[in-house]
Amino acid sequence: MSAFETVIGLEVHLQLATRTKIFCGCPTLFGSSPNSQTCPVCLGLPGVLPVLNRRTLESGLKVALALNCRIQPALKFHRKNYFYPDLPKGFQISQYDLPLSFEGVLEVPAAAEAPAFAVRIHRAHLEEDAGKLVHKEGSRASLVDYNRAGIPLLEIVTEPDMRTPEEAYRCLQTLKHTLQYLDVSDCDMEKGSLRCDANISLRPAGAKELGVKTEIKNLNSFKHVRNALAYEIRRQQEALSSGGKVIQETRLWDDVKGVTLLMRSKEFAHDYRYFPEPDLVPFVLQSEEIQAVRRTLPELPPARTRRFMEQYGLSSYDAGRLTSEKQLADYFESAVQAGGVPKATANWIQGDLLAACRERNVEILDLKVPAAHLAQLVLLVEHQTVSSRMAKDLLKAMMKTGEAPEPLVKRLGMSQVTDSGTLQAAAQTVVQGNPKAVSDYRAGKRQAIKFLVGQLMARTKGQANPELAHRILESVLKEGA
């Protein structure tokens, strides 16, 4: 079956977070009552003029620059004509031959067992969203809410550079993480702020020409994208290996059944008769303006990874993992600024904290462990006030109560005994009380000391510093010999 190569491209629609719609002053609040955010412009009433919201252009520009795109010096809008009840004007204002940006590239970092790769960005352009159709079960009518009509979107189209569903999944994750850095969208798939369609085709391994592709829609999460693509590979493989053909069509992912199904819609000619939008003048971007927006870009994951390696001495994997998500990287840096030792702080985040996030299905900021508390915990271990094993329990207590570790250590009587006088006395008692182990040790059974260390730990209720306990026992045993 490996006689075929899979070719995948993605189309992402990103809702740009603005106060108002792209061509009118209607608000963009999510979840408002139906048709309460409309006006003559976004309802497509006669005689109205769309005017571009400056912020949408700036946000789009930010994304385009972060995706290393070339920027169109003079951009235009076009009308994309088709009839559908969610489109009040009978056309969508979009971009055609002069899109905002083109020819970019997204670097997807290495995963645990997979190398880094790059996905070229074909183009990213501005357009308006359509309204929302609500189909009534068993009714011959549909309901329309135009609150979403005219919401600003940035459509990002990749080149067909991915070869596996996993690569598509990782590309989407990296894209989302990059977008979150830019603060231009809430990237919430459930609210529809981030939507994805996938194009997939197979071709004989080694062939240059692309095979016939299908487009998959109704992908509500990145996991759906991965599953739908895996299903579609099997379906196309079966068709091609049995002498059949793949037909260019749009298919919908049915997550419950785990299959893609042919989308049956009213006959829909894919002839959009694009023509320039006469109501919007061209937009010319001066290079100074582009540079000004570029200066507002935050430090993005690739650069931040390099800095984390240099500044904090992290491995490339650790740095890559931490910087992939902005809030994780910010959390790490706040903890380090609060005094946390970088390496240990990184380990705590990637270990116990992220494990707790996965377990509870929450974000790191929801764990009730502010970065400053993590820094204190790291320092308590560093100064040997608590052992690393005790620290794990301490962290659990911190997540439960939201308290800082220091008062908790006192309250729970957790602090590690590092006072050698106390340990010396306890060691004497242990040695006197366990003659068998002592004589075994002195007879050359070095392993016997482990039992004695255990006894000493038990006497101090687990609060002895294990290394110190070991050293002190050794010296007590030596003295008595």
Partner 1 sequence: MAFEESEVRYVAALARLSLTDEEIHRFSTQLKQILSYVDKLNQLKTDDISPTSHGIPMQNVFRKDEVIPSLDVEKALSNAPAREGPFFLVPRVIEDA
Return residues touching Zn ion (CB under 5 A).
Answer: 24, 26, 39, 41-42
Q: Is the dihedral of CA 374, 380, 384, 385 positive or negative?
A: negative
Q: CA 304 to CA 324: how far, in whole Å?
A: 9
The smaller minimum CB distance to partner 1, of residues 81 and 384, is found at 81
CB of 19 to partner 1, least distance (A): 5
* Contact indicator for 42, 24 with CB cutoff of 8 Å: yes
Cβ atoms < 10 Å from Cβ of 309? 16
Q: Are 183 and 164 in contact (CB under 8 A)?
A: no
Among 11, 68, 81, 120, binds partner 1 (CB under 8 A): 81
Residue closer to partner 1, measured from CB, 146 or 331: 146
One-letter amino acid for residue 282 of the chain: P
396: which 2 tokens? 């659990």
Nearer to partner 1, 40 or 244 (CB): 40
Instruction: Show contacts with partner 1 in window 225-254 (CB under 8 A).
Output: 251-252, 254
Least CB distance from residue 279 to Zn ion, whole Å? 14
422 is an interface residue for partner 1 by CB under 8 A = no
Residues paired with 262 in a beta bridge = 251
Q: Which is nearer to partner 1, 134 or 481 (CB)?
A: 134
Name which of residues 304 to 323 contact partner 1 (CB under 8 A): none
Q: Cα(469)–Cα(447) distance, rounded to whole angstroms?
A: 15
Cα within 13 Å of Cα(403), Cβ side: 13
Binding mask 263-282 for partner 1 (x = CB under 8 A): xxxx--x-x-x--x-x-xxx
Residue closer to Zn ion (CB basis): 11 or 86: 86
- Min separation Cβ 60 and partner 1, Å: 13
Residue nearer to partner 1 on the CB measure, 200 or 426 = 200
199 has which bridge partners? 9, 215
- Give how far Cα 469 sits from Cα of 214, 387, 412, Å: 67, 12, 21
Residues 100/117, Cβ–Cβ less than 8 Å: no
> Which 104-123 positions form the footprint of partner 1 (CB under 8 A)?
none
For the CB of residue 87, give the shortest distance to partner 1 in the complex, in Å: 11
The DSSP letter of residue 272 is -
Give the interface with partner 1 as residue ranges (CB under 8 A).
18-20, 24-27, 33-40, 43, 45, 51-57, 74, 76, 81, 83-85, 133-136, 139-146, 251-252, 254, 261-266, 269, 271, 273, 276, 278, 280-284
